[in-house]
Amino acid sequence: MNPVANHRFGAKPILGCLLTATLLLGAGAVQAQAGRFTASPAGDTVADSKTSFTWSRCSVGQAWVNNACTGTATLFTYDQAVAYAKAQQAGGWRLPDAKELISLVDRERTSPAIDVAVFPGTVLNNYWTSSPMVGDPDAFWTVNFITGALAYSFRDNVHPIRLVK
């Protein structure tokens, strides 16, 4: 029996590597830059001057309290993540695609590979994106905030999400 055949998390051989390289190259420099993020008056969101996106500072399930993300991030299956994000559309929020989410990765950091002053409380886990894995309708791209790498995960696995608008 091939141990990789039943593996429910990892990277598809050639196709996955090509898409990963394309997304990473397309994302350009992904290091955090001084002055790149501007907090809202309430502090719970940040505007990204590099991408023009507004990001939630906390993972879904956490709350912004006293300049920190408190509580526990909610873990969602892919379908639950999409449903949750869709319910937030009236406020303009959505699930980011892989290129958008990987733009938050700070290559100078690991564990987490994100600016923790801007995004405190980031879970050491993969975060769902809205980007499907080409060739497998049950797999979707995630961004690993331990290493800053792209990975894929199957829709029945659970991961946190961060919303964007």
User: What are 68-114's pLDDT values in tens digits?
Assistant: 999 999 999 999 999 999 999 999 999 999 999 999 999 999 999 99
Whether residue 21 lies inside any domain: the answer is yes
What pLDDT shows up at residue 33?
Answer: 54
Number of domains in the chain: 1
Whether residue 1 lies inside any domain: the answer is no
Whether residue 86 lies inside any domain: the answer is yes
What domain range includes position 19? Answer: 9-154
Tens digits of per-residue pLDDT, 7-18?
344 444 334 443
Q: Is the dihedral of CA 46, 48, 51, 57 positive or negative?
A: negative
Q: Strand locations in 16-156, DSSP E?
A: 37-39, 45-48, 54-56, 63-65, 68-70, 126-132, 139-144, 150-154
In three-state secondary structure terms, 87 is helix
Whether residue 127 lies inside any domain: the answer is yes
pTM of the model: 0.81
Candidates 20, 12, 46; CA nearest to 164 is 46
Whether residue 131 lies inside any domain: the answer is yes
Whether residue 163 lies inside any domain: the answer is no
